[in-house]
Chain A
């Protein structure tokens, strides 16, 4: 039985302080930047593993300090007579890793629970992304242990933390294979999931690097360890080399589109649906779209029955599609501009996602701008422009603007984009 040996981590109050320090360090990147992860359980989970960015270097520093202390104590001399000397050497490092892993799990539990509590749909089956992150953490702890056991001075502790952080940076920017990247997605992960092979390679690399670093930290003990230990470490190292080859450059895609997507809808006229992962602003968005849609209906425009959040790259001409930037998708509320822009797109025409810029006529951009602005003016959130080429049209009574609004909206709904025309005061 390995057990969690905590003899070298100090008394319970010190271990509690270390755990608090690890959690605190891990929360720095998590609580940064307005916490957009509150809008998606998947992003919250990803952000929880992102805590290793800062927590890992702190854990490496602790491991370094522990192994400096062990080396200076002469206790390793006793390991030569131990029944399992290699395990005796690993045990303090496993203790540090266990403590740091607990901190990561607590942070992941915190982010996902908070997100779930405010209404996000939970995907507990995706918790499998945590163990690969903990394997990366093991590698970082082992690097700290290696530095501590070789340098044998306490001033090495901050350097171990800095070195591990630099390894993360170099791994993130592609100079080193992407082994040390954990979490930190900047998108919404709506309609997406985690790419299992990348995480599997990452776990293998983490375990292999951890084993290799620990073997180097006390080679004479590793050399006399049991054949199972040596064989497993050797295999893990070979696996790590293969994994690092797999994770080099841009080949370490961490997120992929999910095979199926699910929506959550707010019934009404129109019905507004968002992907199940990101429904935080749905109530607010649907209320604002409903309010704005009254003006379109007054103009005689026929709205699609349903507006949907777009799955990137997939045209959907049968539904209106929500035009939302990532921060709007994850936010609690949306502004009227987002609601108006979404309402002004009554169909997900293929032209919107075409690689050929000529497919989308240039006039569309101006038409879209006028229609969005018209909606905001009707709702009182904008004032009609009094100058410019369309000033005369803006000055017309509302009822005389309706024909252009109706014709434009019908063309947008039917994806007849080449039928779009700018309004004139004669319309």
Chain B
């Protein structure tokens, strides 16, 4: 799966500076980190890639098909999206949430059960499958949101701040899940925690004030811009400062 953005302009209010303005960007299969300070436009870009926010200008193609085409049903079926603050009804059990998501995604009931079980296993929630979502910890809820994104077996997986608000152990758990994903899947993970991004992604996109100011290999990014300590955070900060 490859994604090509061309001439993208996303503006929330007429006259405002665009939240996202990307002349050209191509992303190919594998894990990609999307980093930027708060308000850089990461969530807007992910929502645009998820088909949830039509840009004012430009085009987004997934595997050569236009995402915002009127007959986009086939294209969007290939996307899995984990929003930043998703809240499923607290009174639903984990399996019920995923059954609901399967219904939304149009997954036939005969395969939904297997898909649900697979997603639950992938995120390590097997022993919590019967638990009410309202009783899950913050980390568990993140895993559930990730399972909801995975249940459709997407070829483009979009994760908006999947490790935010988690303790170090939970972050490590989520990172491990992302690392184990199919490499044929294009996974775009946004974060402002450089350590998380650097540990699981092969490529990185730095977004600043809505524009791409860096796009390249993550190890090279850290190597070239990380200073004497090869710090991912230093690389990020120096990139932002130099833009």
Contact = CB atoms under 8 A, between A and B. Distances in A.
Contacts of A14: 91
A83 B73 contact: yes
B173 to A, nearest CB: 22
B72 A74 contact: no
Contacts of B79: 81
Contact of B87 (A10, A73, A84, A220): A73
B100 A81 contact: no
Contacts of B84: 74
Interface in B72-87: 72-73, 76-77, 79-81, 83-87
B104 interface: yes
A8 interface: yes
B70 interface: yes
B130 interface: no
B105 A224 contact: no
A400 interface: no
B50 interface: yes
B51 interface: yes
B215 interface: no
A88 B86 contact: no
A77 interface: yes
A5 interface: yes
A258 interface: no
B200 to A, nearest CB: 23
Nearest to A227: B70
A75 interface: yes
B51 A80 contact: yes
A11 interface: yes
Contacts of A77: 47, 50, 52, 81, 83, 86
A7 B84 CA distance: 21
A421 interface: no
A224 B75 CA distance: 13
Given A82-B106, A84-B106, A224-B70, A5 B100 contact: yes
A72 interface: yes
A7 B81 contact: no
A292 interface: no
A14 B81 CA distance: 30
A73 B81 contact: no
B37 interface: no
A79 B53 CA distance: 11
B29 interface: no
A125 B23 CA distance: 66
B92 A74 contact: no
A88 B84 CA distance: 20
Contacts of A7: 89, 92, 96, 100
Interface size class, chain A: 20 to 34
Contacts of A72: 87
Interface in A71-124: 72-84, 88
A95 to B, nearest CB: 12
Contact of A74 (B80, B85, B96): B85
A8 B100 CA distance: 10
A5 B51 contact: no
A76 B81 CA distance: 11
A220 B54 contact: yes
B158 to A, nearest CB: 9
B12 interface: no
A107 B216 CA distance: 66
Given A7-B92, A80-B81, A83-B105, A74 B87 contact: yes
Interface string B103-134: 11110000000000000000000000000000
A96 to B, nearest CB: 14
B4 interface: no
A73 B52 CA distance: 15
Contact of B77 (A5, A8, A73, A81): A81
Pick the most buried of A11, A74, A88: most chain B CB atoms within 10 A of its CB: A74
A80 B50 CA distance: 7
Interface string A28-70: 0000000000000000000000000000000000000000010
Given A7-B100, A88-B104, A224-B72, A81 B86 contact: no
B143 to A, nearest CB: 16
Contacts of A69: 89
Contact of A8 (B52, B89, B105): B89
Given A82-B106, A224-B72, A75 B81 contact: no
Nearest to B80: A81
Interface in B23-52: 47, 50-52
Contacts of B101: 78
B148 interface: yes
B55 to A, nearest CB: 13
A73 B91 CA distance: 14
Contact of A10 (B51, B70, B81, B91): B91
Nearest to B107: A83
A80 B52 contact: yes
A217 B88 CA distance: 20
A221 to B, nearest CB: 10
B148 A78 contact: yes
Given A5-B100, A7-B92, A81 B87 contact: no
Interface of A: 3, 5, 7-8, 10-11, 14, 69, 72-84, 88, 220, 224
Given A75-B88, A81-B76, 12 more contacts: A10-B91, A11-B91, A76-B52, A77-B81, A78-B104, A79-B104, A80-B76, A81-B77, A81-B105, A83-B77, A83-B104, A88-B104
9 contacts: A73-B88, A74-B84, A79-B104, A80-B52, A81-B51, A81-B105, A83-B105, A224-B70, A224-B72
Interface of B: 47, 50-52, 54, 70, 72-73, 76-77, 79-81, 83-89, 91-92, 96, 100-101, 103-106, 148, 152
Q: Pick the 8 closest A-B CB pairs, nearest first.
A: A83-B106, A80-B52, A80-B51, A73-B87, A74-B83, A82-B104, A11-B91, A74-B86
